[in-house]
Amino acid sequence: MKYTALFVSAFYLLVLSIFLPVSIYAQSKSVGAAVSIAIVNKDAKDGSIIVSAPKGYGLTNVAYYSNIYGVYTEFSSIFLQNTSDPQTKPVTTSGKANVLVSSVNGNIKKNDFITTSAISGVGQKATRNGMILGTALQDYSNSNQKATGKIMVAVNPHFNAAFAENKASVLELIRNSDPSALTQLTSLRYVLAACIALIAFSIGFVYFGRVTSRGVEALGRNPLASRTIQLNLVFNLFLMIVIIFVGLGISYMILVL
């Protein structure tokens, strides 16, 4: 069975070499296959995290970016180069590769998840659910959060939902434009918070509308009691505001806790 698998692999490589303008280079500093990718950012360097963006493959300064693709690896173990386009660069999408990281989100320990950061092309420790590049295979620590270094990472871009808490804000999710970032628990929290806020507004306005209608009718029947009726309307207006703020407070607590 093992010899059969080796034969099949060799056959596929032979077919690729015959029908595609591809060169295969065996190198030693990482373990994984790199493919030829046209990178739009000229400042990309060895270890930079590459993402798929509307403008093409390149760098990002958005944390937990939704379309992480791989790592720019100048010294990959295998490089399938597209010789028809010499401007392309080797990008590792799976395996092990040296990745640029920083301590902007805390020191990195072995087995921590690595994701994109606010530093263009540089990774950070992932502390919440979201898209990740892979798993750290080495530690990294630096008191200077702006400094960068390289560590070996097991590259496997995917969405991670292993953290029990997901406190990603709505603005971050919208900015990342990643529907997968809404796990079932997170979606339930947003829906529940929205429903409570809507119910609070509805109860407040319906209640105040009925009280106002009755107050106007009472004022028409008994003009001499206008002072009392007006105070009653003011009190009910205050009560409506309290109901709305209580509902908004409950919604906020659902989102942040």
pLDDT digits (tens, 9 = 90+) for 31-64: 777 888 899 998 999 999 999 988 899 999 999 9
Q: How confident is the model at residue 219 (pLDDT cuts 50, 70, 90)?
A: low
Q: What angle do CA 208, 214, 215 make, to 5 degrees?
A: 85
* Residues whose CB falls within 8 Å of the CB of residue 195, separated by 6 or more in sequence, listed in order: none
Between 218 and 240, name the one with better pLDDT. Answer: 240
* Nearest alpha-carbon partner for 114 in 95, 138, 133: 133
Residue 219 lies in a domain: yes
SS3 per-residue string spanning 120-156: CCCEEECCCCEEEEEEECCCECCCCCCCCEEEEEEEE
The domain boundary, picked from 162, 178, 211, lies at 162
Residue 237 lies in a domain: yes
Residue 12 lies in a domain: no
The reply to whether 154 and 198 lie within a common domain is no
The reply to whether 192 and 158 lie within a common domain is no
Q: How far apart are the first and last CA of the chain?
A: 53
The reply to whether 105 and 218 lie within a common domain is no
- CATH code of the domain containing 158: 2.40.300.10
Domain assignment of residue 88, given as a range: 23-162
- The total of structural domains in the chain comes to 2
139-159 pLDDT per residue, tens:
999 999 989 999 999 999 999
CA dihedral 110, 115, 116, 119 (to 10 degrees): -30
Contact criterion met (CB below 8 Å) for 87 and 38: yes
The reply to whether 147 and 247 lie within a common domain is no
Residue type, 199: I
Q: How confident is the model at residue 252 (pLDDT cuts 50, 70, 90)?
A: confident
- CATH code of the domain containing 219: 1.20.20.10
Contact criterion met (CB below 8 Å) for 155 and 114: no
Of 80-84, 87-91, 165-169, 225-229, the poorest mean pLDDT is in 165-169
Spatial separation of the C-alpha atoms in residues 46 and 180, rounded to whole Å: 29
Spatial separation of the C-alpha atoms in residues 160 and 49, rounded to whole Å: 17
The reply to whether 156 and 241 lie within a common domain is no
The reply to whether 158 and 35 lie within a common domain is yes
Provide mean pLDDT across the span 170-195: 59
Contact criterion met (CB below 8 Å) for 110 and 139: yes
* Residues whose CB falls within 8 Å of the CB of residue 116, separated by 6 or more in sequence, listed in order: 49, 51, 60, 61, 62, 63, 64, 65, 68, 122, 123, 124, 131, 133
